[in-house]
Amino acid sequence: MRKRQAAHIEAPPQVPGQPRPNTCCLCWCGCCKCLWNEDRMERSERQTCTKMDSIEAAEEQHPSLDEVLSWSRSFEMMLRSLEGREIFREFLRSEYSEDNLLFWLACDELKKETDPSVVDEKARIIYEDYVSILSPKEVSLDSRVREGINQSLAEPSSLMYEEAQLQIYTLMHRDSFPRFLNSTVYRDLLANRRRTCLDT
């Protein structure tokens, strides 16, 4: 995969001091100005502010008690929250199922893409990374959905993984999410947020 990414990234000329165009491989390399990299860059910028700004930024980086509680009521709310996704990803990593979330996020990014050449590239990368039987990170999809994806590869579209994404969403929502809410990762965060509220 690294070779494929490197070849793809090196294709456009790089102007010194300028960011690369949005042609990366769904943000895994961190080279582009896509949504995931912008979030990472924004957090990094917040950490290099003045002392007063850094105190405010440090407080902003942690989810509030209300936000953490909202995750227990809604899987969707947790997925919409950057902090929620990061904490859920940490939990999934401990269960060796982080690839489900990464696949879901990659499909979500693909849906937003409108440039046909970028759609084609991202669709093939998702296939090679998560759907192909040769993939090291193969996600659990039923044979009917997998066959539909195989047929769509001839003419990739931004919605070609929609059914697969829904299947993985349902799996995470029904299987992983209840365990996450009972995990020490979530319970410790919730206790920490409650302590912080009591201290203030």
The domain that holds 145 is classified in CATH as 1.10.167.10
Assess if residue 156 is contained within a domain. Answer: yes
195 and 67 Cβ atoms separated by less than 8 Å: no
- The answer to whether residue 165 sits within a structural domain is yes
Q: Output the pLDDT for position 56.
A: 41
Indicate whether 84 belongs to any domain: yes
> Model confidence over 133-169: pLDDT tens digits?
887 787 989 999 999 999 999 999 999 999 999 999 9
Residue 79 binned pLDDT confidence (cut-offs 50, 70, 90): very high
Residue 161 to residues 38, 81, 151, Cα–Cα distance (Å): 24, 22, 11
Q: Is residue 138 part of a domain?
A: yes
Range of the structural domain that residue 195 is part of: 65-199
In a domain, 41, yes or no: no
Q: What residue has token string 């769904």? A: 26
Whole-number mean pLDDT of the chain? Answer: 78
Residues 6 or more apart whose CB falls under 8 angstroms from that of 113 comprise 119, 122, 158
In a domain, 16, yes or no: no
Count how many residues are written for the chain: 200
Total number of domains constituting the chain? 1
Asked whether residue 56 is domain-assigned, the answer is no
Alpha-carbon distance 146 to 127, whole Å?
10
- Please give the share of the chain, as a percent, with pLDDT higher than 70: 69
* Residue 25 is assigned to a structural domain of this protein: no
